[in-house]
Amino acid sequence: MEKVVASPREWIDRNESAKAMLARVLTARPLLLLPPLHRVPLRVGNVVELVGTSSSAKTQILIQAAVSCVLPKEWNGVYYGGLDRLFCLNFLGSIKKIDQEHMDFDLWNNDTKKNPTYDEELYSLCMRRFLFIRCYDSFQFLATLKTLHYRIQKEQELHGISVHILMIDGIGAFHWIDRASTFMPLGATNRKTPSLQTVSETVVQEIRKLLLLHPMLVIATKATIFGDRYSMTETKRNLGKLDASNSRSISSTSLQLPYREYMPSVWQTFVTHRVLVGASDDPLIRTNDSDRSLYFSEWLLPPQSFVDKFIVKEAGVFMVP
């Protein structure tokens, strides 16, 4: 009797039938990520792009998703609801330092604020599942993607669990530097100069290979180059145009969004989901401890006729009614 479920390696080695491959992929359960990525079911193999300015909480959303990934479902009788998986993060360009302050997820042994006990063992377990790689230029990024399979394989053998999410923050970090430079390393006079298109094609190709060997969700951030703020009023006005047309075929990118697409088409067509995030022009939200900046998110791909509002706190990202 033919096997129904095989492995990605068997598909690469031509030992897995198309029927078995489809059964394996289609039975993968959706990733239930936290806000604002909860509106559309996300599965392994999806490539999600978070678009926004530097002050639009993109990195905070990534960290919150990472926390959800590395946390166990249950620990010492306490339910955390995590995915209990490995997590890989590529940081490109200028980044904030990631330490306990930024990865300070809720690892308390009770739900009350009275005499909480910090679980150091759980924290250490989660951080061991966190694979962090920083790249300083496009060549390092490409080299990382080409060797990432072996690093992931080693981590999976060490921990006995698979990688579930690959994050890239941000995908266009070196675009303008590469565009303005000769793209020639010092001393490499005989080396062929790669173009921006070639680099993007190689990035997409290497990520495709990774997804075949390690089925996972890919989330990449992309900084916008025009427009510091995207007002909630303008968002509603654009969505009103979409509703007035009574057609779901109009994409949000056709509604004069305040950013210009600069990534090559090979990357644009590789993306399966796109979310626009930004700082709202609505008043700040007052919470019990302090005032919080208000952010918004809008699904551009697939297009959705609503806008979500959220705030960022030390404990994570929270939706606002």
pLDDT digits (tens, 9 = 90+) for 164-222: 899 999 999 998 888 877 555 555 545 555 678 889 999 999 999 999 999 999 999 99
| Average confidence (pLDDT) over 239-256 | 40
Task: Choose among 43, 85, 23: nearest CA to 218.
Answer: 43
**Tokens encoding 15:** 């030992």
Mean pLDDT of 298-314: 89
Q: What is the pLDDT of residue 145?
A: 95
* Of 206, 218, 215, residue with least CA distance to 6: 215
pLDDT tens for each residue of 93-109: 644 444 444 444 444 44
Measure the CA angle with vertex 170, ends 296 and 8; round to 5°.
105
β-bridge mates for residue 303, sequence order:
300
Type of residue at 94: S
Mean of pLDDT over the chain? 76
Q: Which residues on adjacent β-strands are paired with residue 291?
A: 286
- Count of beta carbons in the 10 Å neighbourhood of residue 245: 10
| Residue (of 61, 72, 136, 135) closest to 106 by Cα position | 72
Residue appearing with tokens 């989330």: 219
Residue 27 has pLDDT above 60, yes or no: no
HSE-CB at 218 with a 13 A cutoff on CA atoms is 27
> Does 274 have pLDDT greater than 80?
yes
Residue 247 near residue 262, CB atoms below 8 Å = no
**Do 162 and 156 meet the contact criterion of CB atoms below 8 Å apart?**
yes
What residue type is assigned to position 31 of the chain? L
Cα 109 off chain centre by: 29
How far apart are the C-alpha atoms of 47 and 267, rounded to whole Å?
10
pLDDT band at 9 (very low <50, low <70, confident <90, very high): low
Structural element, H or E, at residue 308: strand 308-313
Looking at residue 93, its pLDDT comes to: 62
Q: How does residue 247 score in pLDDT terms, banded at 50, 70 and 90?
A: very low
Question: Within the chain, where are the H helices?
Answer: 8-12, 18-26, 58-70, 120-128, 138-159, 175-180, 196-213, 232-244, 265-270
Two structure tokens written together for 180: 């303005």
Backbone phi and psi for residue 304, each to the nearest 5 degrees, phi listed first: -125, 145
- Supply the pLDDT for residue 30: 52
pLDDT at 147: 94
Sheet holding 273-279, edge to edge: 130-135, 86-92, 163-169, 217-223, 47-52, 273-279, 295-301, 308-313, 316-320
Q: Which of 71, 76, 101 is nearest to 86 (CA)?
A: 71
Q: Alpha-carbon Rg of the chain, whole angstroms?
A: 21
**Cα–Cα nearest to 48, from 270, 318, 279:** 270
- 3 has pLDDT over 60: no
Please tell me the distance from the alpha carbon of residue 48 to that of residue 51, in angstroms, as a whole number. 10
pLDDT score for 207: 97
Adjacent-strand bridge partners of 316: 313
Q: What pLDDT was estimated at residue 114?
A: 38
Give the strand pairing for 86-92 and 163-169: parallel
> In this model, does residue 244 exceed pLDDT 60?
no
Q: Point out the least confidently predicted range of 49-53, 80-84, 162-166.
A: 80-84
Look at 82-91, 280-289, 295-304 and tell me which has the smallest mean pLDDT.
280-289
Q: How far apart are CA 277 and CA 296, in angstroms?
A: 6
Residues of the chain with pLDDT > 70: what percent?
65
pLDDT category at 282 given cuts 50, 70, 90 is confident
Please report the pLDDT score of residue 263 as a whole number. 92
Residue 66 pLDDT greater than 70, yes or no: yes
Considering only residues 262 and 178, tell me which one the structure prediction assigns the higher pLDDT: 262
Share of the chain above pLDDT 90, in %: 29
Phi/psi of residue 211, each to 5°?
Answer: -70, -30
